[in-house]
Amino acid sequence: MREAAEALAGRALGLPELARARTVAGYVSVGSEPGTLALLDALCARGVRVLLPALLPDNDLDWGAYTGEGSLARVQHGGKMALFEPTGERLGPDAVAGADVVLLPGLAVDARGMRLGRGGGSYDRVLARLEGAGAHPALVVLLYDSEVVERVPSEAHDRPVHAVVTPSGVRRFHSGA
């Protein structure tokens, strides 16, 4: 798992979008997701402002700054999984609109760049908020190689991502910027 996280971080850090990003909205991986802390720490070391989500009661996301592992707290959300969230000031759900890159969790991405989420709708709201604000950050999903599949179910409101990063490489999608 640690080797996969380090390989993933190395691949992601090589993306031109991340090389020039001033603000990145990320997330702290949970459960069996590919590890993200190595990537988040490397971005902070580059001087990038890293925003992390905090789950709100209605499944929307608020945002706070990440300044290292010490700025995280484990938060249990009712019957849902525990998440690691930023402990500092909350910046509001619209803070994500200022990101140059948004790193998205997912269960899978297909050949069209469509992302399968966990079903809570939190990131669907984020993507709708970005669209409503006229913001066009690079949308990048972090997955294991086996999670890049031929096709995932999608609905009319779903938006394709620009790229998927796995421990073995990067795949870009034509729909992206």
List the chain domain ranges: 2-172
Local confidence band at 176 (pLDDT 50, 70, 90 cut-offs): very low
Q: Which CATH superfamily is domain 2-172 in?
A: NagB/RpiA/CoA transferase-like (3.40.50.10420)
- More reliable by pLDDT, 27 or 174: 27
Chain segment 82-119, per-residue pLDDT in tens: 899 999 999 999 999 999 999 999 999 999 999 999 88
Say yes or no to pLDDT of 80 above 80. no
Q: Could you give the CA distance from residue 86 to residue 70 in angstroms, rounded to a whole number?
A: 9
- To the nearest 10 degrees (0 to 180), the angle between helices 2-13 and 37-45 is 40
Give the pLDDT of residue 177. Answer: 41
Chain segment 26-52, per-residue pLDDT in tens: 999 988 899 999 999 999 999 999 999
The H or E element that residue 139 is part of is strand 138-142
What does pTM read for this prediction? 0.94
Chain segment 122-141, per-residue pLDDT in tens: 999 999 999 999 999 999 99
